[in-house]
């Protein structure tokens, strides 16, 4: 345990935490002979309990002979850190964002080709641009640099009437142009994505739709080997099931709907029930929920604290 390793007794370290030496993981945090020691836990470090231990540990370290206070990097404010519990780099206050420069080379571009073939709508498409979610890497200082890695997408889709409903298929390849080896943990790996869906009106004014999608990460072993401390551990394959139910009442003026997504292998899910009532053609009322659940670092579970109830009054003219 970290406290034991440093000869600091009585700190009651987290039994799930591990001592970790950062210079091998995040170059630049400790140049030269300096050593940076931290705590890493699969369940996440930035919790009130663990931050309290780190604060007590830091105080004891600062009292050790020969320690220079300005060289000790630690969460400076426990309350401020608790509000950023899902940020594995929360201890790094200095940050900058590199936006793609406005040039032809950095412009988003897409192309889609479509035609009807044997009564099916078939499309081919391509995209060249960037991941819209920023990646982050640590620079000397330390400072966190956020940037948008380049991305190519190639895909195909087909949709047609089958078994009284509409059947659809889609496939895509996400080519992470700047990191095709998968060894840079800051950049999303390339992946293959597949989707199959079906929609049908099972009775008048009642429509049921479902989808199954799978995302296969390339070079998953390299991703696991280079994953930084506190970063979520993603599976090689992510499965997601989607369902949408829509029911109309009162001469189609009242619409009740449910949209839900769930990952059976990661255990996270989202549900969005909604009721919409049209008083007139111009005036409508909407009441709904957005509910997120799952492991704290999963795709939907990370937004659990953002679950909400919403109401909308809409008037068009």
Contact call for residues 172 and 215 (beta carbons, < 8 A): no
CA-only gyration radius of the chain, Å? 25
Please give the Cα distance from 271 to 246 (Å, whole number).
14
Q: State whether residue 221 is helix, strand or coil.
A: helix
Residue 280 has a CB neighbour count (10 Å cut-off) of: 9
- What's the CATH superfamily of 98-315? Porin (2.40.160.10)
* pLDDT confidence of residue 278: 96
Question: What does DSSP say about strands 37-40 and 206-217: parallel, antiparallel, or unpaired?
Answer: unpaired
Work out the burial of residue 149: count CB atoms within 10 Å of its CB; fewer than 13 is exposed, 13-18 middle, 19 or more buried: middle
Tell me the mean pLDDT in the region 220-230.
81
Please give the Cα distance from 116 to 158 (Å, whole number).
9
Q: pLDDT band for 74, please (50, 70, 90 cuts).
A: low
Beta bridge partners, 39, equal: 19
Reported as a single tens digit per residue, the pLDDT across 3-36 is: 333 434 444 444 444 444 443 333 444 444 445 5
Please give the Cα distance from 147 to 89 (Å, whole number).
15
Residue 237 has a CB neighbour count (10 Å cut-off) of: 13
Contact call for residues 166 and 198 (beta carbons, < 8 A): yes
* pLDDT confidence of residue 61: 73
* pLDDT confidence of residue 180: 82
Q: pLDDT band for 45, please (50, 70, 90 cuts).
A: low
Tell me the mean pLDDT in the region 126-132.
92
Contact call for residues 287 and 311 (beta carbons, < 8 A): yes
Residue 127 has a CB neighbour count (10 Å cut-off) of: 17
Which of 7-16, 34-43, 212-221 is least confident?
A: 7-16
Tell me the mean pLDDT in the region 72-79.
48
Which of 86-90, 150-154, 171-175, 187-191 is least confident?
A: 86-90
Please give the Cα distance from 300 to 185 (Å, whole number).
21
Please give the Cα distance from 239 to 193 (Å, whole number).
10
Q: What are phi and psi of 297, to 5 degrees?
A: -105, 15
Tell me the mean pLDDT in the region 149-165.
95
For 9, half-sphere exposure in the C-beta direction (CA atoms, 13 angstrom radius) is 0
Beta bridge partners, 96, equal: 145
Taking the complete model, does pTM exceed 0.75, yes or no? no
* pLDDT confidence of residue 195: 98
* pLDDT confidence of residue 94: 83
Q: Which among 169, 46, 150 has a CA at the least distance from the CA of 101?
A: 150
Plot region of 50 (φ>0 → left; ψ -120 to 50 → alpha; else → beta): alpha
Tell me the mean pLDDT in the region 306-314.
96
User: How many angstroms from the chain centroid is the CA of residue 266?
Assistant: 13
The residue whose two tokens read 């509910």 is: 291
Q: Hey, which bits of the chain come out as E strands? A: 18-21, 37-40, 95-98, 109-117, 120-130, 135-139, 143-147, 150-162, 165-176, 191-203, 206-217, 237-249, 254-262, 269-278, 283-293, 308-315
* pLDDT confidence of residue 3: 38
Mean pLDDT, the chain, rounded, equals 80
Residue 273 has pLDDT above 90, yes or no: yes
Residue 188 has a CB neighbour count (10 Å cut-off) of: 19
Provide the residue ranges of all domains of the chain, joining segments of one domain with +.
2-82, 98-315
Please give the Cα distance from 217 to 175 (Å, whole number).
11
């Amino acid at each position: 345990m970290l406290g034991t390793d440093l000869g600091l007794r009585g700190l009651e370290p987290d039994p799930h935490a591990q001592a970790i030496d950062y210079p091998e993981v995040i170059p630049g945090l400790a140049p030269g002979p300096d050593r940076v020691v931290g705590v890493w836990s699969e369940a996440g470090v930035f919790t009130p309990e663990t931050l309290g231990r780190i604060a007590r540990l830091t105080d004891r370290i600062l009292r050790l002979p020969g320690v220079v206070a300005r060289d000790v990097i630690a969460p400076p404010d426990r309350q401020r850190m608790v509000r950023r519990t899902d940020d594995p780099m929360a201890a790094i206050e200095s940050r900058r964002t590199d936006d793609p420069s406005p040039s032809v080379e950095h412009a988003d571009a897409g192309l889609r080709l479509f035609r009807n073939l044997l009564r099916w709508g078939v499309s081919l498409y391509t995209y060249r641009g960037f991941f819209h979610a920023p990646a982050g890497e640590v620079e000397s200082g330390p400072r966190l640099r956020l940037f948008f890695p380049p991305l190519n997408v190639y895909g195909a889709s087909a949709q047609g009437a089958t078994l009284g409903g509409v059947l659809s298929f889609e496939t895509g390849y996400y080519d992470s142009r700047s990191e095709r080896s998968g060894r840079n943990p800051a950049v999303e790996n390339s992946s293959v994505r597949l989707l199959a869906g079906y929609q049908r009106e099972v009775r008048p004014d009642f429509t049921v739709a479902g989808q199954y999608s799978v995302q296969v990460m390339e070079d998953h072993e390299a991703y696991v080997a280079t994953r930084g401390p506190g970063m979520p551990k993603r599976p090689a394959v992510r499965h997601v099931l989607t369902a949408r139910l829509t029911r109309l009442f009162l001469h189609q003026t009242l619409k009740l709907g449910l949209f839900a997504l769930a990952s059976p292998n990661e255990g996270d899910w989202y549900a969005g029930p909604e009721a919409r009532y049209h008083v007139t053609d111009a005036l409508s009322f909407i009441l709904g929920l957005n509910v997120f659940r799952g492991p704290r670092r999963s795709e939907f579970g990370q937004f659990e604290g953002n679950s909400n109830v919403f109401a909308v009054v809409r008037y068009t003219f």
